[in-house]
Amino acid sequence: MRVVAAMSGGVDSAVAAARMLDAGHDVVGVHLALSRNASRLRESARGCCTLEDAGDARRVADRLGIPFYVWDLAERFQRDVVEDFTAEYAAGRTPNPCLRCNERIKFAALLDKAVALGFDAVATGHYARIVDGPEGRELHRAVDPAKDQSYVLGVLTADQLARAYFPLGDTTKERIREEAAARGFSIARKPDSHDICFIPDGDTRGFLSRALGEAPGDLVDATTGAVVGRHAGTHGFTVGQRRGLGLDRSSLDGQARYVVEVDANRRQVVIGTADLLTVRELHGEHVRWCGPAPLGHIRVGAQIRAHGEEVPATAYLDRGQDGAAGRLRVHLDRGVRGVASGQSVVLYDGTRVIGSATIAATETRTPSAGR
């Protein structure tokens, strides 16, 4: 089988490429150039798209004796991930750019180009497992819960999973580093990259302020409607945020205040006490199924953050006209605090990923019987 190994320059993708080669596949290493102005050196442990990273990937490919190429997807990444990220915040939502990158870059643009060039599959260094099930290939959690990345892969469709390989899903991160050292990879102890890769200094608010500028508005008390402060732009806030609110605390009762709603249209950031953060129901859009679309209602585990807790839930589903997507409503058995629109909910059946959706709205009330 001819395989493109996506090589970021990190230890995980290096070992993934090596394992695919060990399995007897015809492997070609590909580094994705995703930055239009790539720096030569990494500024921190967050980025993964520098010239230094490309060089690290090339050295691993040379050691493995496989062809190596750099594919320039910077314009596509800018449009489909970076601009999407800023547009979502501008609209008052909180997106996860890693899911967008997997959906639109690594398993769309990269996979499409690989298939067009005659390759059969793409292998990455994600920590997740592919299992052959009764209805086709299934996406499952990795054996190492601390490194499991199935959440950010929950946007993949059955067709994409059919051409995806995750060789690291059965191994812990420390064993991967040991294996890399045994193979003579100089990057065996290279620090992990952390999202968000296109904000290497980690200052998301600063990045958004530079991209969107200032749009001043009011901080509004959720209970009284009173204006309790000012802000420079709703894009600097997300539901559940406590720090950096700029409140006039002399007018408060001493209780901690959190962002409970971001209204970009009215330029309002609504703040309230912790009891207003608990969500019991989610409404999803942009539904993606990792296999056949279910129908009716099903019991699931719902995960709302990349490293968040899985919560027992019931998902209510309506099949779309194309049979692959439809409306989604998820009722959580217990409340979850600080859920924002724009985040993703990923549904599980045990370790298997069923699918995902972008959260369009939330509710705090418990649905009545028969809903």
Tell me the pTM: 0.90
Tokens representing 149 are 């990345």
pLDDT in tens, 174-207: 999 999 999 999 999 998 876 688 888 888 989 9
pLDDT at 362 over 90: yes
Is the distance from CB of 151 to CB of 306 less than 8 angstroms? yes
315 in Cβ contact with 297 (< 8 Å): yes
- 260 and 270 Cβ atoms separated by less than 8 Å: yes
pLDDT of residue 51: 83
In whole numbers, what is the pLDDT of the chain averaged over residues?
Answer: 90
Domains in the chain: boundaries: 2-182, 213-276, 278-363
Which fold is adopted by the domain 2-182?
A: Rossmann fold (3.40.50)
pLDDT of residue 202: 84
Q: What is the pLDDT of residue 103?
A: 94
pLDDT of residue 326: 61
pLDDT digits (tens, 9 = 90+) for 61-95: 999 999 999 999 999 999 999 999 999 999 999 99
pLDDT per position as a tens digit, 151-172: 999 999 999 999 999 999 999 9
CA–CA distances in Å: residue 100 to residues 79, 155, 270, 334: 11, 8, 27, 28
Q: Does domain 278-363 have CATH number 2.40.30.10?
A: yes
Q: Residue 368 has what pLDDT? A: 39
pLDDT classification of 50: cutoffs 50, 70, 90: confident
Q: List residues with catalytic annotation.
A: 101, 197
CATH class of 213-276: mainly beta
State residue 366's pLDDT score. Answer: 45
pLDDT over threshold 80, residue 284: yes
Position 256 scores a pLDDT of 87
- Whether pLDDT at 37 is above 70: no
User: For residue 317, what are its two tokens?
Assistant: 């589903």
Give the mean model confidence (pLDDT) for residues 327-345. Answer: 94
Pairing of strands 352-363, 26-33: unpaired
For residue 51, give the nearest of 36, 66, 65, 41 by alpha carbon.
Answer: 41
What is residue 251's predicted lDDT score, i.e. its pLDDT? 58
Per-residue pLDDT at 319 exceeds 90: no
